[in-house]
Structure 1
Amino acid sequence: MKAVVAHEYGAPEVLKLEQIPRPEPNEEEVLVRVIASGVNPADPLTLSGKYAREFGTHLPLIPGYEIAGVVEKTGANVTKLKVGDAVYGYPTFGGGWADYITVKEWEVAVKPKSLNFVEAAAVPMGALTAWQALVDVAKLQPGQTVLIHGGSGGVGSFAIQIAKARGAQVIATASTANQDLLKQLGANVAVDYTKTKFEDVAKDVDAVLDPVGKETLARSYGVVKKGGIVMSLVARPDPAEIKKRGIRGAGISVHPDSEDLGEIAQLIDAGKIKPIVTQVLPLSEAIAAQQQAATHHTRGKVVLRIADEPKA
């Protein structure tokens, strides 16, 4: 099978398109024929060797933390999925940039029926991150207000839609070029961070979701009401600031969860959430896709098309 493989850590240029043996699922796994795989900032981080120290990833490695495809084989202990099921999901250790991948049953769920495979591959990691932050950690309620930084990005675009689906008011930040997208996604207030300080607009919010860190995180503590929460995807909120202001802080680390993916799929099929796919590239252009992901300034999502969409 074809796969994009790295035999050493480094820049995207270390990736090579190779022929490797097809994996076989163990008793707890399913074999998925991959139709499309999303591109994430996590991919260049894995490639740099950062996750080798933190999570034990090892060489050679295949990037790809988001997949959509078709189940080709199931392990003996698999109970919820069957051969032929269209699925989407988040393999914990990547591996999606290949013709086939083996995944645990709890890493994937049945694909939203209203999306094609390329669209579905743009969902899992960003939507799971937003869901686990807003729903599981912040427990966002109808009528509450949330400030979402980077609202046009892979996580932010889903966070806006999930917050709106839960009846919350949304203030979102993005650059000038992406103000239209914030409104399209449903933000009540769109802030152009190149022209306006978000703290001049957002005051006494119930929650902040921060995928940026550094100065943005430091300035966010002051806009949260007492008892509210600041959540960061890239840093641990400052305990001194949290204590001083009487708020809560959480570092968000996404994990695969088939039940969460199932709930997200229901919202997608109900028309409440849609992925924003801005570019579709063939597997042979994985290096260009990695380079784009590393900038952290992609609008919406870049997806690698690995095989043709199956005929219905």
Structure 2
Amino acid sequence: MFAYQIKQYGKQEQLFLNEIQKPVLSENSIIIKVHSASLNPVDYRIRNGDTKFVLRYSMPLTLGHDFSGVIEAVGSKITQFRVGDSVYGRTPMTGAFQEYVVVGENDIAKAPKNLSLVESASVPLAGLTAYQGLFDWLQLKEKQSILILGGSGGVGHIAIQLALLTDAKVYTTASKEGQAFLQQFGSIEFIDYHKENFYEVLPPVDAVFDMRGGDELTHSFDVVKTGGKIASITSIPTPSYAKSANMNWFYQMILRAFTAKMYHLSKKKNIVFHSFLTQSNRQELEKITELVESEKLTISIQKIYPISEINTAMKEISNGRAKGKIVVDFTNKERNE
């Protein structure tokens, strides 16, 4: 089967077309023929080598984290799905940019009935990341206030909608173009980062959800109320994530060392800080499906590329200016190196 892989880490590394062995079915696994996959910032961060101290991969490496497709085979102990089901989900690690994926029952859900399979591919990772950030880590409650950094991106525009559904007061940083894009989702307070710094104008908030990192993450500690919370997907995972993911004490110690600056800052400010990696969760993905099917949650797709143009798609997601999601369609049969 075909796979789009990298040979080594590097910001200029190109995905190349390779032939690899098809996954083997086990009693607890499901084999899916991939229809489409979406691109996410984690894909170029892995390609760049940003995560290599936490996540160990062997080369060549197939990138990609979420997908849609049709089930081709199910193991003898699979009870929730059957051959022919249209599904969407995320790979347990990486590897969605290939012809077939093998996953478990917890990694997927039935694809939304009101979306095509191409559209469905845009949902799983961004949807789960937004859901887990808001509700598992920040534990956002009704009427609370939240700053969402990077609101016009793939995760951000979903997080804004989910936060609004809880009747939260939502602030976000966005360009003028980003504001025009996000206004469709409801009542949002915008801070134009071209004109002002959020930490100089924002009133204290209960929570911050960070999709930007760097100085913006550091300054988040200046705007959160005492006892408030910050969740980030840009920093190295914190020991709280390692514990939730059942990593052993050694990894928890390593992550404590890598995140010492943020740990001390959170203690000094009396703020709870979590940095996390998204986890598979069928129940949460099913909740997202219900919101999509009831039209309470809209996933915006900026562009759909044929799989043969995956490097162009990767370049676009890498520039950090995408409004919504970028998807690659595997049903286009043209393939080039």
Normalised TM-score (structure 1)? 0.92
Compared CA separation, residues 270 and 64, structure 1 to 2 (3 A): same
Question: Deviation per CA, 1:36-63, whole angstroms, max 9, x where unpaired?
Answer: 1001121122223444542222122211
- The Cα shift of 1:20 comes to 3.5
Question: Deviation per CA, 1:80-127, whole angstroms, max 9, x where unpaired?
Answer: 111111111110222211221111221111111121112211111111
Task: Give the aligned length.
Answer: 308
Partner of 1:165: 165
What fraction of aligned residue pairs are identical, expressed as a percent? 34
Q: Which runs of 5+ in 2 are unaligned?
A: 236-258, 333-337
Q: Counterparts of 1:125 and 1:271 in 2: how far apart (Å)?
A: 19
1:271 aligns with 2:311: no
Partner of 1:246: 270
Q: Which runs of 5+ in 1 are unaligned?
A: none
Compared CA separation, residues 118 and 231, structure 1 to 2 (3 A): same
Partner of 2:252: none
Alpha carbons 1:172, 1:187 under 8 Å: kept: no
Partner of 1:222: 222
Q: Counterparts of 1:160 and 1:14 in 2: how far apart (Å)?
A: 33
Partner of 2:89: 89
Tell me which stretches of 4 or more aligned residues in structure 1 moved more than 6 Å.
none
1:287 aligns with 2:287: no
| Residue identity opposite 2:36 in structure 1 | A
1:58 aligns with 2:58: yes
Q: Counterparts of 2:282 and 2:190 in 1: how far apart (Å)?
A: 32
Alpha carbons 2:211, 2:232 under 8 Å: kept: yes
Mapping 1:1-312, distance limit 5 Å: 1-11=1-11, 13-235=13-235, 236=259, 238-307=262-331
- The Cα shift of 1:192 comes to 1.1
| Residue identity opposite 2:16 in structure 1 | K
Q: Counterparts of 2:198 and 2:27 in 1: how far apart (Å)?
A: 51
Quick check: 149-158 or 220-229, which moved more? 220-229
Alpha carbons 2:30, 2:102 under 8 Å: kept: yes
Q: Counterparts of 1:187 and 1:295 in 2: how far apart (Å)?
A: 28
Q: Counterparts of 1:101 and 1:277 in 2: how far apart (Å)?
A: 23
| Residue identity opposite 2:167 in structure 1 | G
Q: Counterparts of 1:120 and 1:90 in 2: how far apart (Å)?
A: 12
Q: Counterparts of 1:184 and 1:200 in 2: how far apart (Å)?
A: 27
Secondary structure class of the residue paired with 2:57:
coil
Alpha carbons 1:12, 1:287 under 8 Å: kept: no
- The Cα shift of 1:171 comes to 0.7
CA RMSD between the two structures: 1.8
- The Cα shift of 1:201 comes to 4.1
Q: Counterparts of 1:91 and 1:246 in 2: how far apart (Å)?
A: 36
Q: Counterparts of 2:117 and 2:187 in 1: how far apart (Å)?
A: 27
Alpha carbons 1:149, 1:209 under 8 Å: kept: yes
Q: Counterparts of 2:115 and 2:12 in 1: how far apart (Å)?
A: 29
Secondary structure class of the residue paired with 2:84:
coil
Normalised TM-score (structure 2)? 0.86
- The Cα shift of 1:12 comes to 5.4
